[in-house]
Amino acid sequence: MNEPAAPIRVLLADDEAMIRHGVRLILRHADGIEVVAEAADGRQAVEKAAAHHPDVALVDIRMPVCDGLAAIAPLLALDPAPRVVMLTTFGDDDNVVRALREGAAGFLLKDEGPQELISAVRAAAAGDAVLSPGVTGTVISRMLRSGTPQEAGEALADKRLTPLTGREREVLAMLGQGLSNQDIATRLGIGVGTVKTHVGAILDKTGSASRVQAALLAHRTGLAS
């Protein structure tokens, strides 16, 4: 008899107690998710993450003492490291771009509905990128525009694709389209575990810190077109 899967352990970091309370209530009623710690600033978030080993850290961008952006690197340096999802408001695109460049797994608008929040936690825990549809296009475009000059960037990107196998290029193209591991598995007729293996190889071979950075690479090289 198969034992039930361990719940997804979540850390909430937001300086507004009402926001933390609301998120906690939503996640409390979701199957297979457990809020194990809360923090009011980035420094506390790192300390609580080190003590409680969350699978996913939901981190507000704007907090006192140490903001969410400054907390990304120390969170990702933990062993094991949580998947960091930034909580943000509409119009904070510049900070979202910086967060993604520093390795955050994605971002979620604070006014998203309960189901979107639950789905984001599950997606992050599964290794997928978390990108709020309302601002994803703007953020991706801004990241592409703020990168290296086009010709140099494309030359570098092409070199980064060289080590990839044909199947890995297929998977990278689908990452660029925003597909989840399950979606990719279904489209290619392979197992989710195999997709995770391919994604890990893509990140390693291309030097991408996250699925989001890999997705940007797919766009720069035209794989995601």
DSSP sequence for 102-158? TT--EEEETT--HHHHHHHHHHHHTT--EE-HHHHHHHHHHHHHTSS-HHHHHHHHH
pTM as predicted: 0.74
Average pLDDT over residues 8-36: 95
Rounded Cα distance between 200 and 194, Å, is: 10
Residue 120 exposed, middle or buried by CB count within 10 Å (0-12, 13-18, 19+): buried
pLDDT at 45: 97
> What average pLDDT score do residues 180-205 get?
91
What share of the chain has pLDDT > 70, as a percent? 88
What per-residue confidence (pLDDT) applies to 27?
A: 95
94-102: average pLDDT: 83
pLDDT at residue 198 in the model: 95
- What is the chain's mean pLDDT, rounded? 86
The residue among 47 and 211 whose pLDDT is bigger is 47
Q: pLDDT tens digits for 113-165? A: 899 899 899 989 988 878 776 666 667 777 767 654 444 455 556 788 999 99
Q: Which two tokens stand for residue 143?
A: 């990241």
The rounded distance, in Å, linking the Cα atoms of 129 and 12 is: 18
Question: According to the model, what pLDDT value does residue 39 have?
Answer: 97
The reported pLDDT for the residue numbered 150 is: 47
The mean pLDDT value for 196-214 works out to: 88
Has residue 13 got a pLDDT over 90? yes
Q: What pLDDT, on the 0 to 100 scale, is given for residue 136?
A: 64
The conformational region for residue 91 under phi > 0 = left, psi -120 to 50 = alpha, else beta, is: left
pLDDT value of residue 16: 93
Q: Which domains does the chain have, with CATH numbers?
A: 8-142 (3.40.50.2300), 148-220 (1.10.10.10)
Q: Is the pLDDT of residue 30 over 90?
A: yes
Question: Once rounded to an integer, what is the mean pLDDT over residues 179-198?
Answer: 90
Question: At 15, is the secondary structure helix, strand, or coil?
Answer: coil
